[in-house]
Structures are given as structure tokens and as C-alpha cells.
Amino acid sequence: MKKLVLATVLASVFGIASAGGYTSLEYTNENNRVTGADNIKEGLIVGNKEGDTDYSIKMENSQTEFGNGSISQGLEVRVRQSFGDKGGIRPYVGVRLGEKVTSSTHFGHYAFDAGVKVPLGAGFTGDVGARYRNAFDTSNNYETTRAHVALGYALTKQDAVAVRWSRSWGDEEKDAWRFSYTRSF
């Protein structure tokens, strides 16, 4: 696992300098539907797109309130494959391997993604998809299914912003709004 993470980090970092490299910053506000508690997440993604394949690494930090409350951190290595281009419609599938770290535990997890991106015109794109995630050791209560709907806008050829709403079911019962900025190189 460590070799896979290191290889992806190096590929992502060196990929930034080449065509297809990108960096994304994310801010997410989550609401636990069971407890009513709110969490915030910040994320940094470094990646490289080679044709229809996207390789990336994501580092995130989660806290109940910025500067207050318990902190959890995560690292994910991700690969996503897009297919076809019928009228700009792009279905995709992906796989993720990650590590979750909290003050009391840390554990590995995996996830599978599927969805479709659709051009909406005038620089806008839509994205509808789902993710299944679980810990390798299922006693960690990390099994969730998440659906999302996103709207992106290309500010320039290199800069884009997006907003996404998602709902998770399973060990996490959350609704979340994510705001992101992506810079391509």
C-alpha cells in the first residue's frame, strides 16, 4: 500500500508540470441527518489526466468547526476512467484506496465510483454519480453509499469552479455541500 501511495504521489507531483496536471481545493459543509451535527472538510487534490484516465491523490482534513473540535484526516489514491464522447456525455468509473486517521484510530478503506458528466452549454457542466465506500476491516463502521449532483463552470481554459450536493447512507447519514476550485496546467 505504501509503495502504491508513493508511486501515485510522485506521478501526480511530476504530472503537474506536464500537460494534464491539475490541483483542486475543496471546502465541504456536512450535516449529520441523525445527530444534526455539522462538520467542515478541507481538501487538496493533486492529479494528472492522461487521455481518458485521471490519476490523483487527495488529502483532507475534517473538523466539527474550524479551529474547534476533534480532527480527522484522510489520504486517498484515486484512478478514474472516462468513456466515450457522444455529444460530450462522458460516463466514468473509478476506484480509490485510502487511509482514515482520527485521534483514536486509523484504518484503510476502498471505494468505487460511477457517474456521468454532461455538457450544459456556456461553460457549464453537470455531473451525476454515486460512490460505495467501506473499510478493509469492516469493524470500523465506514460502509456508506453516496449519491451526488454537481454543477461546474469553466472560468477560463485553466480555471474552473464547482458546487456539489451529496447524500450518504449507511454508517454515515450525511448531506453535504462542496465548493471547489480547480487550476489546470
Task: Note the pLDDT tens digit of each residue in 17-75.
Answer: 567 899 999 999 999 999 888 999 999 999 999 999 999 999 999 987 666 777 899 99
Residue scoring higher pLDDT (12 or 181): 181
- What is the rounded (10 degree) CA torsion for 115, 119, 123, 125? -20
CB 131 within 8 A of CB 113: yes
Q: Is the pLDDT of residue 182 over 70?
A: yes
Average pLDDT taken over every residue of the chain: 90
DSSP track, 111-148: EEEEEEEEEEETTEEEEEEEEEEEESSGGG---EEEEE
Task: Report the pLDDT value the prediction gives residue 1, as an integer from 0 to 100.
Answer: 47
Contacts by residues 88-92 (CB-CB < 8 Å, ≥ 24 positions apart): 88/118, 88/119, 89/116, 89/117, 89/118, 89/119, 90/116, 90/117, 90/118, 91/115, 91/116, 92/116, 92/117, 92/129
Three cell numbers, residue 32 = 449529520
Task: Note the pLDDT tens digit of each residue in 105-160.
Answer: 899 999 999 999 999 999 999 999 999 999 999 999 899 999 999 999 999 999 99
Closest to 96 in 3D by CA, of 125, 51, 60, 50: 60
Q: What is the pTM of this model?
A: 0.87
At 74, the amino acid letter reads G
Task: Note the pLDDT tens digit of each residue in 52-66.
Answer: 999 999 999 998 766
Q: Which three-class secondary structure state does DSSP give residue 182?
A: strand
